Amino acid sequence: MNIPTIDGYAGFYDTAAYLARGGAPDTGGILNNILSGLTAEMRDFSGKAAVILILALLSSTAGTLNSALGESSAGRAAFFGFFAAVSALALACFNTALSYGMGVITAMTDFMDKFTPVLVMLIFACCKPASAAVFEPVLSAAVYVVSVITHECMVPLTTFSAVLSVAGNIGDKTSISGFIKIVNSTNKWLMTFVITLFTGINAVYGFSVSSLDAVSAKTIKFAVGSLVPVVGGFLSDSVDTVMTSASLIKNSAGAAGIIIICGICLAPALKLGAMQLMLRLCAALAEPVADARISGMLWGMSEAVTAVFGTVILTAVIFAVNICIILRLTT
């Protein structure tokens, strides 16, 4: 039995074949690439972060002007000018982060759409038709639900949180920080619900179909030995060897799928992590000298970028964990 290929993912076959031959990923090289990638992304984003920080520091002159002239209209106008400029740059960073996040989530769901039939076919080849029949709709539903919840719920909530971070810090008389916390908490609860739901469904279904798969394997061996004339006994003895070989290919393909999912989300995740760290750093450095509203807005924007980062990681974890559970329960 040959390792299947997936259109548009040339590295899938090579990775699965390498793992099937007993190869192991280069952990040291992967860690070095992650660290170097994170450093490069922070260096690329440092220019924007420097502009944001300089404008935030210059806004302190507006506060000094207000103090000297007694809350003059000129001082307030200067502050709002700086606030608008910093907010525009922060929102541009958030928009970039959101485009990165949605692009990588779409790429992962597209890969899972193509990978699910391959994995189900390999499970069926291992003489586990019950598992194949059960896990195929679960994986398809996971891909669909993650796509819908991400685009219809998490993206609007995250965007709403970013806008509220700007709107809630324009004035100094009212505060909507509690409402922003509710929006962010709703986003986190949605993430937790999705990953718990599909992990639990896979685990429960896996335990319930294992006995059916054992019966199916024995039935296939009995049918081959009884119905095939002359060589039926020899073929029946070779069924275990075929099942073991198919299981090896299935596990290699599953591991290759997990590696590709991690590879798809790695670069965008590093970009999002760099944006998150730099925005938090700008907020922390601006807090002692700039107006509290600017540092509060930057901190809220970093929370919105963190939500996008968490959504990307959640999507990758859902797919990877479900593949691991399926591989383990069908071994």
> Higher confidence at residue 211 or residue 154?
154
pLDDT of residue 276: 86
- Locate all alpha helices (DSSP H) within 6-154, ordered by sequence: 10-20, 27-69, 73-125, 129-149
Taking residues 108-112, report their average pLDDT: 85
Taking residues 87-97, report their average pLDDT: 87
pLDDT of residue 185: 82
pLDDT of residue 216: 57
Instruction: Check if the beta carbon of residue 305 is closer than 8 Å to that of residue 184.
Output: no
Q: Which of 135, 115, 132, 116 is nearest to 124 (CA)?
A: 132
Q: Please determine, for residue 91, whether its predicted confidence score (pLDDT) is greater than 80.
A: yes
pLDDT of residue 19: 62
pTM of the full predicted structure? 0.78
Distance CA 25, CA 17 (A): 13
Mean pLDDT of the chain: 74
What is the domain partition of the chain in residue ranges? 24-329
Where residue 17 falls among pLDDT bands split at 50, 70, 90?
low
Could you report how far apart the first and last alpha carbons of the chain are, in Å?
A: 17
Task: Provide CB contacts within 8 A for 203, sequence distance 6+.
Answer: 325, 329
